[in-house]
Amino acid sequence: MRGARPAATLLYPVYASIQAIERPSHRDNKQWLSYWILYSFISLFEITFWIFLQWYVLLPAFNGATFVYENYMRDYRKLTGLLNDLRKMIPGEG
């Protein structure tokens, strides 16, 4: 699924941007320039946030790894256990 994101967020906009540039009318230019500006800001935020998140989880002073595990992963583990219990109840699965 990771490959679908660049296809959706880059390939079509690149194609549409080229089409907009090649047309005599500049009507579409504002749309695609706006798109690329927004895409750039989102990308910069994502990169910055990801770096911050990695340090937050890594450094013991923040206790981030424990926080993430206790508040998110532990619930996922409980859900996985519940799904496994339900799967055992299905004839031929348990």
Distance CA 71, CA 77 (A): 11
Give the pLDDT of residue 94. Answer: 54
Give the pLDDT of residue 18. Answer: 86
Q: Which of 6-10, 21-25, 86-90 has the lowest mean pLDDT?
A: 6-10
List, for residues 31-61, the tens digit of each pLDDT value.
888 899 899 899 889 989 988 888 888 888 8
